[in-house]
Amino acid sequence: MKTTTTPILIVGAGPTGLMMAAQLSRFGVEYIIIDKKKGATIESKALGVQSRTLEIYQQMGIATKAIEQGYPAKAVSFMAKGKKIQEIPLMNIGEGLSPFPYMLILEQSKNETLLEEFLTQQGKSVQWNTELVSFEQSEEKVNAIIQRANGEQEEIVSEWIIAADGASSPIRHQLNIPFEGSTNKQVFWVADLEVEWELSYENLCVCVNRNTFNAFFPMEGERRYRVIGTILTKDQSSPVEITFEKLQEDLAQNLDIPATFSNPAWISTYRVHHRCVDNFRHNRCFLMGDAAHIHSPAGAQGMNTGLQDAYNLAWKLALVCKKQLKPQILDSYNEERLPFAQKLVHTTDRVFENIVSTNPIIRFIRLNIALPLAKYIMSTNTMRTFAYKTVSQIGLTYNGLSLGDTGNSSFGFARSFPQVGDRFPYFILFDEIKQLTYTSFELIQGSSFHFLLFEQEGEDGTLSISVTEYIKALHSKQLFKIHRIPFSTKNEVVYRQLNIETSSIFLIRPDAYIAYKSDDISMVNIEQYLQEILGVC
């Protein structure tokens, strides 16, 4: 049997596996990615691309292409019993918080194609028609058996294996990892079709009805929508099929809005499960995406969360493979991603239950209390910002976890200022020397850590940081970029936003999270963080 050796074997080339491969390519680390399918998904599946994902795409240089192929969601209309209860504008809902202050509607199939094209540009490709048959792991390595379309089997020996193999993950099954949670009684149907009605063709439309709910997502093409609805089932194990005729009947009975439907391009059903593993790491195997957590599509979080699992692990694993960081950092993957996944599964489960429940009391609350209350809540700026930060995933924090708990930070920030473990905020800076403006995200492009040295004027008018020694020491490690940001009166808004009063240092991780910050510019504290917490080799 032919044997191939590689540092990392990625099983599954859905959005999650493709993102893992793309990120490893950015760090110049070798890997093999396999998928039993013939090629990338052709079905539209997930539709919503959140701001945080677009920020990652920007770092990869594919955000512009994504935006050209999709369109920002303009507004969402909530309808109950056929009447519009409220309309929330979404277009610039996160203005000033992200370079992409909206949700982009871009089908999963197009996201997968973009990621696959990125791999091609890096000289890499997915091995399609190639199935993982079995694998074993020991303290030192992973031995996997794969099978090609012609039935030939080969062995792949790797240091690590990535389970990005979807909701029914064969790897999770082989490792007997529990996937605790529940399966909903309602089955989702999903259809891409043409809708004729009097409502705006630009808005997302959520219709809460007496018995169920329907959501309409505008798609490319005239009057085309992705429509979703639910069917109640008694038997949770057998598959449920739905025809276009049955779907029309269902909408006619429940929608309460005059509409006709035609030209279905894709109709599918899927069961909504709410399940999560109890650990994202099993020795040399890392689980991610649907293999690790599944939930309802409420909030368009599924695909985005898988992409960000991959983004979180990739830099850590790449730098361990390159022997620049010690393997201890790999434990932070589970520590950072598991609580988020558990919370997401729990929240989407509750939201979904309330949306589809047939219980008369919940139905009454849904129609008469929840929607009007939501209208009132969403009319305040604070609540809109909170909702945007949550759904767009830019508000996700790893604060207080092992990589973000230095004990040395002397800022004592109130929560309104960015903390260690938070995503580095988006802002615009002015460069006094070059006389130009640039964004915080342009500053931290690339695949290294970034030291940002904000220099403030001392009482005697001189800059108070001398960084020459740091630069010499850190540049030799080729892992850090250093940016001196001299004092400018034009940046005072930024200083206020970051709560900077004296010269201060920030260390930003390759995934744009704040690793360390302090206004005590002491090499001792920084070195301690790099050695003891980050594990720099």
Ligand X SMILES: Cc1cc2nc3c(=O)[nH]c(=O)nc-3n(C[C@H](O)[C@H](O)[C@H](O)COP(=O)(O)OP(=O)(O)OC[C@H]3O[C@@H](n4cnc5c(N)ncnc54)[C@H](O)[C@@H]3O)c2cc1C
Binding site for ligand X (CB under 6 A): 11-17, 34-37, 45-47, 108, 131-132, 164-167, 170, 190, 268, 270, 289-290, 297, 300-303, 306
**Nearer Cβ to ligand X (289/418):** 289
CB of 240 to ligand X, least distance (A): 12
Q: How many whole angstroms separate alpha carbon 262 and alpha carbon 195?
A: 7
Measured CA to CA in angstroms, residue 367 lies from 198, 212, 371 at distances of 22, 11, 6
- Measured from the Cβ of residue 517, the count of other Cβ atoms closer than 10 Å reads 27
CB of 167 to ligand X, least distance (A): 6
**H or E stretch at 469:** helix 468-475
What is the arrangement of strands in the sheet containing 71-72, beginning at the earlier edge strand?
48-49, 104-105, 71-72
CB of 488 to ligand X, least distance (A): 42
Phi first, then psi: give them for residue 82, nearest 5 degrees.
85, -5
**Nearer Cβ to ligand X (161/325):** 161
CB of 73 to ligand X, least distance (A): 12
Structure tokens at 500: 């900077």
CB of 275 to ligand X, least distance (A): 12
Select from 455, 445, 448 the least CA-distant residue to 477: 448
Structure tokens at 171: 């790897």
CB of 332 to ligand X, least distance (A): 21
Q: What is the DSSP letter of 320?
A: H
**Nearer Cβ to ligand X (135/529):** 135
**Nearer Cβ to ligand X (12/101):** 12
Q: How many whole angstroms separate alpha carbon 235 and alpha carbon 257?
A: 31
CB of 222 to ligand X, least distance (A): 22
Measured CA to CA in angstroms, residue 250 lies from 188, 229, 231, 247, 347 at distances of 12, 9, 9, 5, 27
In the chain, the largest separation of any two C-alpha atoms, in whole Å, equals 80
**Nearer Cβ to ligand X (15/421):** 15
CB of 228 to ligand X, least distance (A): 7
**Nearer Cβ to ligand X (128/441):** 128
**Nearer Cβ to ligand X (290/422):** 290
CB of 165 to ligand X, least distance (A): 4
What is the arrangement of strands in the sheet containing 224-232, beginning at the earlier edge strand?
83-89, 75-80, 204-208, 213-218, 224-232, 180-197, 259-276, 293-294
**Nearer Cβ to ligand X (14/94):** 14
**Nearer Cβ to ligand X (102/424):** 102
Q: What is the DSSP letter of 420?
A: T
Q: How many whole angstroms separate alpha carbon 58 and alpha carbon 376?
A: 35
